[in-house]
Amino acid sequence: MAKTARMADADFEAFYERHWKYVFRLCFTYMKSEADAEDCAEDVFVKVLTGSFTFTNETHERKWLTVTAINLCKDKLKSYTRRQVGSIDDDRMPEIAAPEEEDQSEVLDAVKSLPPKLKDVIWLYYYEDYSTDEVAALLHRPASTVRNQMRDARLLLKNILEGGGQNG
């Protein structure tokens, strides 16, 4: 699918239908708050509508959305930190339709609690099934750095989950 100039309304609605939940989920793991996640996801789609992008296929769309969403979330987190808004502590956790099972909820909490740069690699590697090299290319980081970050992220997840009484 190729899109040039600004996307037409009909095209955009189909595009939004395909990706809105994915983008929301990604943003939610960064922002933790549902409202912030929605705001961030909206901004990603605003970028799609106001920019002139050419997507060659659905995979391309998803890659673009992933990288854009990650960058936007990080920017927002930085601005929250700067403004001392309290950013992403648990007090701001929304009422969200969280996973029913205790186990899933704890895993998600563990993922959300990872530092953003580790969350990137976990998301892309485990959820998007990219290889280490692909993650490195997407995030413009050396593959060795990504591998180290993967190792750190796994260790952190294990510690968090074990500390919470779960076996990693």
Partner 1 sequence: MDERENRIKGAIDEIEPADGAKERMLANIKRKVEDKNIQEILAKEPQKAKILSFNRAMKWVLPVAACFVIVLGAVLILPNLLSGKQADAAEMAAPHDSYMNADYGADYEPASEKSNSGAFRLPANASDPIEISDSDQLGYSFTVDGYSYVFNSVSLDESQKAAAYKTEELEEDAGIPLEEDAWIFERNDGYEIIWIGEGYLNSISNTNGADKEEVIKVFESMR
Question: Which residues in the 117-136 window bind partner 1 by CB under 8 A?
Answer: 122-123, 126-127
Number of residues that bind partner 1 (CB under 8 A): 39
* Tokens at 133, concatenated: 């090299």
Beta-carbon contacts of 28 under 8 Å, excluding residues fewer than 6 positions away, are 34, 37, 96, 112
DSSP 8-state secondary structure symbol assigned to residue 86? -
At its nearest, how many Å lie between partner 1 and the CB of residue 137? 20
Element (H, E) at 91: none
- With CB under 8 A as the contact rule, the residue among 91, 97, 163, 165 that binds partner 1 is 97
Per rule CB under 8 A, is residue 90 in the interface with partner 1? Answer: no
Distance CA 153, CA 64 (A): 23
Distance CA 141, CA 41 (A): 24
At its nearest, how many Å lie between partner 1 and the CB of residue 93? 13
Q: Which residues bind partner 1 (CB under 8 A)?
A: 13, 16, 20-21, 24-25, 28-29, 34, 38-39, 41-43, 45-46, 49-50, 94-101, 103-105, 107-108, 111, 122-123, 126-127, 154, 157, 168
